[in-house]
Structure 1
Amino acid sequence: MKIGFTCYPTHGGSGVIATELGKLLAERGHDIHFITYDMPFRLGGFQQNIFYHEVEVSRYSLFKYPPYDLTLASRMAQVAKLYELDLLHVHYAVPHAISAYLAKQMVGEHLKVVTTLHGTDITVLGDDPTLHNIICFGMKQSDAVTAVSENLKQQTQELFNPDLEIDRIYNFVDQRIYHPRNVRYLKDNYVCPDEKLIIHISNFREVKRPHDVIKVFDQIQKALPARLLLVGQGPEWSAIHELVRSLNLTDRVHFLGRQDDVSQFMSIADLLLLPSAKESFGLVALEAMACGVPTIGSRIGGIPEVVIHGETGYLAELGDVNEMAKYAINILQNDSTHQLFVQNGLHRVDQEFRADRIVDQYEALYERVLGEK
């Protein structure tokens, strides 16, 4: 198959999954064409069967804002015609599904469109009355729509149309990259032998509740020797620095900033904190689980579909930092429980979220859609 991929090429989960899916499909012999405004950060370097087509937005004095969605549609149509694409797989409903619909109108009905919903386009933008109808239109005009969790699928149907057909296809993890590693030498850079290492990875937006991360860690380090790794960067970065300073935790918290390869940092951690207010799936929890790291998270969105409470980690009500801290201390002080959760997590990854299993599902979806030509 010849497939065009469009995603946001930044460090968000949707861009990660889209890029990794494209790479795995290319390994299976499919031609994958990424059509985005920048090179996806997980792509990099030459790879067989993968092509990148930049979307360059021209600026005219007539336009107050550059018309990216129209330029994207034109580029999609151009690439589809030139390389005889079979379908466009777009990640996020707006503007990508709308641009793909316009491209299809330019190229012809033989070009199919698959739209994958990752969360923000539904849980945040879907509540915006100025965007509601256009999101709904984009989904209805797609030849197939997928959601990355059952929770997101249900939310989408409730918000837009209970009869909307949506395939739930979970996110996945490439176990060649995310797996337990013996990286004690790296861990020794951050902790002493008797200390536990906690990790949090996010874009440090308010919805990720990084303040809760610090409050939970503060209780943890009072109960046992521990340090915290903070990976990522975002709007709350400065405020978190100030909170760490005010709690006298400066020497126990390491700010690592944005990292392209987080798997090595996952592997040295003993526990992941994920107290988010919104998570349609919780990819970082899956990546941690694949590296043998249990998660303490919020019981919201798609997280309970990834983290099984009392088996692979613990879940608490949103904002309940005391409960999260209690669970964290319990698992960190009990080696047998920690090891059981590690093994349960690795088994769950292998059974439910293995890359080849999920890629099989996408291939089957593509074949179904193309069979409708």
Structure 2
Amino acid sequence: MKKILIVSNMYPSAKHPFYGIFVKEQVEELKKNYDMDIDLQVITDKETSKGQSILKYLRLWKRVFQTIIKQKFNIIHVHYIFPTALFVPFAKKITNAKLIGTIHGTNILFSKGIKYKIAKRIFDDLDEIVTVSDFVKEQLIKNYNVPASKVTTINCGVNRTLFHPKDKLVMKQRLGLDTKKFHVLFLGRVSLNKGIYTFLKLIQNCKDPDIEFIILGDGADKEKVKSEIANFQNVKMIDGKPKTEVPDWFNAADLFVFPTKKEAFGLVALESLSCNTPVIGTDVGGVGEVITHGENGYLVKDDDWESILTHLIELKNNPDVYNSMVEKCDMDLGENEIHVQVNKITKLYRSL
């Protein structure tokens, strides 16, 4: 039986049940393998003040070292590289465990300076590296000269038990939406990086009275956005919802707009497609690995609200085009289901 230690700076708790939920879902799938004994050392606190942030990492690293000194592990798998994996070069010296790191974002792709040197050392010391998209894999190899042979793309995977198609009319009625309207959804962090201001331009320039916009989420710019849309009748702003309720909103929406400015993969777009709701997204990072332009959605340039509006009107006014796109939403979902992706991790573990 392989003994595995999983380390993450994000993991759900009773107070924050959806903080790093994708890591927990992966762990729960891994635990279904009876030949693996899994231990966890994680951070469940979202506190972001500088002093408390430093303390929570110091406590995490202390627990990690105490654990690997007391117990013998075959594999240590760390999620998020910087700063979570700063312990890796030291762990390399005191354990024979194979070290795996999963890169979930693009924020570790430094080009120079001390952070680059530290990240380079970590990547050199890892035995295997997992990236959530081919885009991140290519950038990693290019920026850090990491051998392609030790990098594997395994995305977080969509939970299709939770995200699956439901009757759109029924969901609109259940959520109190006008069943005669074409609903366009923004779902996620209400912030500049997630493209909320591109979505605002879309709202401000759409003159079709049969289109209604929904902004669902919380974030740093929420109050500012709320004041910006105060005089618009074609938009609803909804507080962030538990993940268990998110599929209802994807199913009630006719279209999901994902105007993000940077994205390692784009799991949220995959979740929308899993509910048979087409996506218009920015062609950045790994988003193009989820959306096939003209098939299950459209890809646009950053902040190109004009193209989003053009595609939106086209889909709303052409039911045949829209329905054809809906039918293709699930064309690549099988290989992106969470259990398929976790099987890849299991295979990687067993190869070490």
Q: TM-score, normalised by structure 1?
A: 0.83
Aligned to 1:21: 26
In the TM superposition, what are the counterparts of 1:243-262 in structure 2 within 5 Å?
Answer: 243-245=228-230, 248-249=231-232, 252-261=235-244, 262=246
User: How far off its partner does 1:145 sit?
Assistant: 0.4
Structure 2 Cα separation of the partners of residues 191 and 305 of structure 1: 32
Aligned to 2:280: 296
Aligned to 1:241: 226
8 Å CA contact 1:149, 1:281 repeated in 2: yes
Aligned to 2:64: 76
User: How far off its partner does 1:281 sit?
Assistant: 0.6
Give yes or no for the alignment of 1:112 onto 2:118. Answer: no
8 Å CA contact 1:76, 1:103 repeated in 2: no
8 Å CA contact 2:185, 2:214 repeated in 1: yes
Structure 2 Cα separation of the partners of residues 64 and 346 of structure 1: 43
Aligned to 1:57: none
In the TM superposition, what whole-angstrom CA distance separates every residue of 1:234-268 from its partner, at most 9, and x where no partner exists? 112122112212xx225622222353332222222
User: How far off its partner does 1:331 sit?
Assistant: 1.4
Aligned to 1:6: 7
8 Å CA contact 1:286, 1:306 repeated in 2: yes
| SS of equivalent residue, structure 1 residue 345 | coil
8 Å CA contact 2:26, 2:156 repeated in 1: no
Structure 2 Cα separation of the partners of residues 271 and 36 of structure 1: 36
Aligned to 1:191: 177
Aligned to 1:89: 77
8 Å CA contact 1:13, 1:283 repeated in 2: no
Letter in 2 for 1:18: V
Structure 2 Cα separation of the partners of residues 339 and 154 of structure 1: 35
Letter in 1 for 2:318: N
Letter in 2 for 1:357: V
User: How far off its partner does 1:185 sit?
Assistant: 4.3
Structure 2 Cα separation of the partners of residues 211 and 81 of structure 1: 49
Aligned to 2:157: 172
Change (3 A) 1:31 1:322: same
Aligned to 1:286: 270
Letter in 1 for 2:90: L
In the TM superposition, what are the counterparts of 1:152-167 in structure 2 within 5 Å?
Answer: 152-161=136-145, 163=147, 165-167=150-152
Residues 189-198 or 303-312, more deviating? 189-198
Letter in 2 for 1:9: Y
Change (3 A) 1:356 1:265: same
Aligned pairs, number: 341
| SS of equivalent residue, structure 1 residue 93 | coil
In the TM superposition, what whole-angstrom CA distance separates every residue of 1:183-217 from its partner, at most 9, and x where no partner exists? 64442234212112221122223211101112223
Structure 2 Cα separation of the partners of residues 211 and 201 of structure 1: 13
Residues 15-24 or 288-297, more deviating? 15-24
Letter in 1 for 2:184: I
Aligned to 1:102: 90
| SS of equivalent residue, structure 1 residue 206 | coil
8 Å CA contact 1:232, 1:258 repeated in 2: yes
Residues 179-188 or 288-297, more deviating? 179-188
Query: How much identity, in percent, do the aligned residues show?
Result: 24
8 Å CA contact 2:209, 2:234 repeated in 1: no
Aligned to 2:123: 139
Residues 315-324 or 260-269, more deviating? 260-269
User: How far off its partner does 1:137 sit?
Assistant: 1.1
Residues 305-314 or 72-81, more deviating? 72-81
Q: CA RMSD in A?
A: 2.8
Structure 1 Cα separation of the partners of residues 323 and 68 of structure 2: 50
Aligned to 1:209: 195
Letter in 1 for 2:291: V
Letter in 2 for 1:169: I
Structure 1 Cα separation of the partners of residues 70 and 240 of structure 2: 40
Aligned to 1:182: 167
Structure 2 Cα separation of the partners of residues 268 and 119 of structure 1: 29
8 Å CA contact 1:97, 1:139 repeated in 2: no
Q: TM-score, normalised by structure 2?
A: 0.87
User: How far off its partner does 1:321 sit?
Assistant: 0.5
Letter in 1 for 2:155: Y
Structure 1 Cα separation of the partners of residues 52 and 233 of structure 2: 45
Stretches of structure 1 lacking an aligned partner (at least 5 in a row): 41-62
Aligned to 1:151: 135
8 Å CA contact 2:158, 2:338 repeated in 1: yes
**Given the alignment, which residue of 328, 344, 347 partners 1:364?**
347
Structure 2 Cα separation of the partners of residues 4 and 166 of structure 1: 20
Change (3 A) 1:249 1:65: closer
